[in-house]
């Protein structure tokens, strides 16, 4: 390197350099972003982040094995909320090509989750890994189900049924409902939202089993979980559960 040449940027520095011009000048929007993370925020809107990702980076043409290491370093070292979106975009894009080696790396990413936005993006990736490698992934979800970390508890159930779809493969209710049951009294509101969402989607797939679960445990449901879980029930089904929930 000549004495007048600049040191080569790291991949993280490259990304931060590309992100800064996109920063939202609105202090209100940046304040909104900061509500879902403790990391530094530039206030960049999601469509702009996705557009930047699609443009590519100096390492975008490298093979997956190389890129995965780069994205892993970016995820682990980034202190800017928006920079952490980009590794998630990469693995979301590879959802149909995910490997056991990817899982071995990605399951550790949850340690840096501090808000619902990145948590939900990571849950989506985990859901595809669970679909492809259920015997590999499910034991970790069971472990997270009893974790002291609320984001691990949330991610123990959200990937089970991110959204009910006829195009996806899911575990049977005997694997899903026990994990939800453990979290029915969870004190964390974001976990309670996850309980409600997962039960709502579970009912779409397994109506009989989930409705039986409702009737058995309805008095244990938090108000948050009850609201989300019963969104798609008929009025008569919901009224019956409300009566049972309020009865002595």
Is 125 contained in some domain? no
Is 61 contained in some domain? yes
Is 190 contained in some domain? no
Is 228 contained in some domain? no
For 34, the domain range is: 10-93
pLDDT band, residue 248 (cuts 50/70/90) = confident
| Other Cβ atoms within 10 Å of 144 Cβ, number | 21
Is 145 contained in some domain? no
Is 79 contained in some domain? yes
Is 50 contained in some domain? yes
H-only helix segments in 85-188: 85-93, 100-106, 116-132, 134-144, 150-155, 173-182
DSSP SS3 for 40:
strand
Is 30 contained in some domain? yes
Give the pTM. Answer: 0.94
pLDDT score, position 8: 58
Q: How far is CA 39 from the centre of its chain?
A: 17
Cα 212–243–231 angle (5° rounding)? 60
pLDDT score, position 160: 99
pLDDT score, position 9: 78
**Mind giving me the DSSP string for 111-129?**
GG--SHHHHHHHHHHHHHH
Count of the separate structural domains present in the chain? 1
User: pLDDT by residue (tens digit) across 131-176?
Assistant: 999 999 999 999 999 999 999 999 999 999 999 999 999 999 999 9
User: pLDDT by residue (tens digit) across 100-130?
Assistant: 999 999 999 999 999 999 999 999 999 999 9
pLDDT at 179 over 80: yes
pLDDT score, position 200: 98
């Amino acid at each position: 390197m000549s004495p007048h040449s600049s040191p080569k940027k790291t991949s993280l520095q490259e990304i931060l350099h590309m992100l800064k011009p996109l920063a939202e000048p609105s202090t209100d929007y940046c304040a909104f972003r900061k509500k879902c993370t403790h990391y530094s925020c530039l206030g960049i809107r999601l469509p702009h982040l996705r557009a930047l990702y699609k443009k590519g980076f100096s390492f975008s043409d490298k093979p997956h094995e190389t890129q995965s290491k780069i994205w892993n370093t970016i995820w682990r070292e980034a202190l800017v909320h928006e920079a952490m979106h980009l590794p998630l975009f990469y693995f979301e894009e590879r959802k149909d090509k995910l490997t056991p080696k990817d899982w071995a790396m990605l399951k550790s990413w949850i340690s840096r989750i501090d808000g619902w936005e990145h948590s939900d993006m990571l849950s989506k990736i985990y859901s595809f890994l669970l679909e492809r490698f259920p015997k590999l992934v499910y034991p970790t979800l069971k472990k997270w189900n009893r974790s002291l970390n609320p984001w691990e508890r949330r991610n123990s159930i959200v990937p089970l049924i991110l959204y009910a779809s006829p195009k996806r493969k899911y575990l049977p209710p005997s694997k899903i409902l026990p994990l939800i049951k453990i979290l029915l009294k969870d004190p964390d509101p974001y976990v309670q939202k996850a309980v409600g969402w997962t039960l709502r989607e579970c009912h779409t797939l397994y109506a009989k089993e989930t409705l039986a679960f409702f009737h058995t445990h309805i008095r244990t449901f938090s108000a948050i979980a009850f609201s989300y879980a019963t969104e798609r029930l008929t009025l008569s089904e919901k009224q019956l559960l409300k009566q049972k929930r309020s009865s002595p």
